[in-house]
Amino acid sequence: MTNVEKAIELKEKANEHFKKQEYTKAIELYSEAIKLDPTVSTYFGNRSISYLKTECFGYALADATKAIELDKTYVKGYYRRAAAYMSLGKFKQALKDFETVIKVRPKDKDALLKYNECSKIVKRIAFEKAIAVDDYKKSVAESIDIESIPVEEDYKGPRLDDKITPEFMKDVQIAFKEGKKLHRKYAYKIILGVKALFEKLPSLVDVHIPDDNKFTVCGDIHGQFYDLLHIFELNGLPSEDNPYLFNGDFVDRGSFSVECILTLFGYKLLYPNHFHMSRGNHESQTMNQMYGFEGEVKSKYSLQMYELFTEVFNLLPLAHCLNKQVLVMHGGLFSNDSVTLKDIKAVDRNRQPPDEGIMCELLWSDPMPNYGRAPSKRGVGVQFGPDVTEKFCNFNNLKYIIRSHEVKAEGYEVAHDGKCVTVFSAPNYCDTMGNKGAFITMRGKDLEPQFETYSEVPHPNVKPMAYASSLFSFM
């Protein structure tokens, strides 16, 4: 059998794995096919879409570009490159690729729809920049008069009067579990309440855990509300005696993001010193626009409420340091070895995440097994090796770091000689990945991580990405 024939066979096997949503295995086989025959645009195109499915947007972009270089008429290559550009918030570049597609296929309704949607986004961004005034930011929060919002007589749900209580939080979770909505007046109260709390916090929050006390760290939740409830069933509800840190990506992908974020914000209000939240890369406008949170809030409440969430997300802390020994951030480490905890604390975070620098890398970076650093597979941030982690920990007198941001088969992974721990708390991510979820518990005296894993629980028949941008039906 020739290399060309072997490559075709590997591609067919990869296609079968892709159909079964086994994307990592598909990537491996497409890669083997490319090694045997690197002249076929389809192999790169197919690997590109597999990378898109696993959120490796940088790799997806590179593969789609290579596919186009090999075959300028390969329309799927332009589609996939446009999807990668959109995932990275590069809408102008995406629009150019959609223009190419509709020139080739002028009667393709799907291509025309995507071109028009992308064009609207580009125009909207340009308009927002044109009317922006740098020295004055109009606050949505200041425009909301809670007292003027009426509560209708037929509203039967939980009521929040003067102060949030454990009973109210239990009632909210029951109502959400039954598919009911919290009245907008009380939702606004919660969001405005946590805004005032987050405004007072630094970008790096120091957390003290007494020697004999338990502390729990959870990773990405991604709108999987029923799995969030399951964590509380397994590990107990948050309280002053049962503190939690949720490490970003509370929203998007899953279609119960509103329920997740209002529950988490409610607990932050109830236990401000014993319930902690870090920003993830999905607590941003670009991600929310593409992956569902904006659409979900507008569907369940209003555009104004979504804009208020955006203001609050800008105020979320970027990292937490546990007993001055364990740093917890959503993404990972940095493109240079000189970053200190003091540098992180000094970051001006009240903005949308930038494309480079400390804030960007805290939200987007990933560990890798190789030494040194490499360009990010996501196209944002960096990949960092075990030597980088060791240097950072030694330089800042840390035992290890905890981060999230990546699906792991068992819900967690210990890497870099035990100094880099990943925790991901959304089991069977997007109802397709088949992974377990996990959370970490530890005691203050030694901060040794203990892992509890769990499988997904049933949820109502609302698919992930139900509220996502129509641009993401690109596959």
| Domain co-membership, 252 together with 388 | yes
Q: What is the model's pLDDT at position 407? A: 95
Distance CA 140, CA 146 (A): 12
Residue 88 has pLDDT above 90, yes or no: no
* pLDDT reading at 72 higher than 60: yes
Least reliable range by pLDDT among 225-234, 292-301, 320-329, 460-469: 460-469
Does one domain contain both 350 and 212?
A: yes
Same-domain pairing of 111 and 227: no
Rounded to whole angstroms, the Cα distance separating 137 from 133 reads: 7
Would 98 be classed as within a structural domain?
Answer: yes
Say whether pLDDT at 136 is over 60: no
On whether both 160 and 116 belong to a single domain, the answer is no
The parent domain of residue 348 ranges over 143-472
Last residue of a domain, one of 131, 157, 174: 131
| Closest alpha carbon to 280 in 317, 354, 246, 330 | 330
| First-residue to last-residue Cα distance in the chain | 32
Query: Is 231 in the same domain as 197?
Result: yes
CA distances from 15 to 22, 56, 407, 439 (A): 10, 18, 22, 33
What does the pLDDT read at residue 59? 96
Examine residue 138 and state whether it is found in any structural domain, yes or no: no
Residues 115 and 148 in one domain: no
Any domain includes 279? yes
Its sign, for the CA torsion 369, 372, 375, 378, is positive
d(CA 426, CA 413): 14
Cα–Cα distance for residue pair 120/178, rounded to 1 Å = 36
Asked if residue 87 belongs to a domain, the reply is yes
* 290 is a domain residue: yes
Contact 264, 250 (CB under 8 A): yes
How many domains is the chain partitioned into structurally? 2
Reduced to 3 states, what is the DSSP secondary structure of residue 153? coil
- Percent over 90 (pLDDT), the chain: 87
CATH number at 261 reads 3.60.21.10
pLDDT digits over 346-382, tens only?
999 999 999 999 999 999 999 999 999 999 999 999 9
Q: Do 85 and 203 belong to one domain?
A: no
Among candidate residues 282, 320, 330, 416, the one labeled active-site is 282
Domain boundary among 131, 154, 183: 131
Same domain, 60 and 200: no
**What gap in Å lies between CA 83 and CA 397, rounded to an integer?**
41
Residues 103 and 211 placed together within one structural domain of the fold: no
What pLDDT is stored for residue 35 in this prediction?
A: 97
Q: What is the pTM of this model?
A: 0.93
Claim to verify: residue 191 and residue 326 sit in the same structural domain: yes
- What would the two tokens of residue 428 be? 């069977």
Give the end of a domain, one of 98, 131, 164. 131
Q: What is the tens place of the pLDDT at every residue in 222-260?
A: 999 999 999 999 999 999 999 999 999 999 999 999 999
Q: Note whether 403 and 413 are within 8 A (CB).
A: no
Partner residues linked to 229 by β-bridges: none
Q: Is the Cβ–Cβ distance between 48 and 63 less than 8 Å?
A: yes
SS3 (DSSP) at 378: coil
Residues 415 and 466 in one domain: yes
Please check whether residue 392 lies inside any domain of the structure: yes
Q: Residue 181 to residues 147, 162, 374: CA-CA distances in angstroms?
A: 19, 20, 45
Are both 368 and 346 inside the same structural domain? yes
Residue 136 lies in a domain: no
**Which residues does residue 464 pair with via DSSP β-bridges, in sequence order?**
none
| 282: annotated active-site residue | yes
Report the CATH number at residue 19: 1.25.40.10
Query: What is the largest distance, in Å, between two alpha-carbon atoms of the chain?
Result: 76
pLDDT for 150-176, tens place per residue? 999 999 999 998 899 999 999 999 999
User: CB under 8 Å to 233, separation ≥6 — which residues?
Assistant: none
Residue 203: inside a domain:
yes
**Confidence grade of residue 89 (pLDDT, cut at 50, 70, 90):** confident
Cα separation of 381 and 424, whole Å? Answer: 19
Per-residue pLDDT, 355: 92
